[in-house]
Structure 1
């Protein structure tokens, strides 16, 4: 069984991108390289910085957390990156 990770990447202009993967280092490298495997929304927005990553038990939990984070306002996401708040418990 693969371990899943929830991560956030900051673009050069400060935007935060949220995603899930089984390999954060590989996925971040794909984003940095751009086409064809990196997220289309990150292309041309570098340099990129990996600002948050957490291990999650399985894909369904990772997907639900990703959805929740994408609903959060920017200030709350930034507080998570700074370690001032934690992720909600989703099981």
Structure 2
């Protein structure tokens, strides 16, 4: 089975872009070269790969990408920085 990847790019405006692909190297080249003019990352180049995870199940990769896209910036940064112990607290809503 072909591996799939969930990845996070840090954009030039310090925002994060989360994506999923089956060919990480090609997808990074596409982002960096600006091949897709209407994409989120096109006007936010230069880009830095700050996180990726490999999956053997594309459906799980897609599900994970959708989940991460809903996360706060703080939670994404905890993931990027391997601070997994912070993730549960960052998931709690503050009232």
TM-score interval for Structure 1 and Structure 2 normalised by the shorter chain? 0.7 to 0.9
Unaligned runs of 5+ in 1: none
Equivalence for 1:46: 45
Q: How does 1:14-33 map to 2 (within 5 A)?
A: 14-33=14-33
Unaligned runs of 5+ in 2: 88-95
Give 1 or 2 for the bigger CA radius of gyration: 2
TM-superposed CA distance for 1:69, in Å, is 0.3
Shift in CA distance, 34/67, structure 1 to aligned 2, threshold 3 Å: same
What is the aligned residue count?
86
TM-score, normalising length from structure 1?
Answer: 0.86
Tell me the distance in 1 between the aligned counterparts of 2:38 and 2:65: 15
Cα RMSD for the two superposed structures: 1.8
Equivalence for 1:63: 62
Report which of the two has the higher share of helix.
2
TM-superposed CA distance for 1:35, in Å, is 2.4
Is the Cα–Cα contact under 8 Å of residues 5 and 23 in structure 1 kept in the other structure? yes
Is the Cα–Cα contact under 8 Å of residues 31 and 39 in structure 1 kept in the other structure? no
* SS of structure 2 residue aligned to 1:47: coil
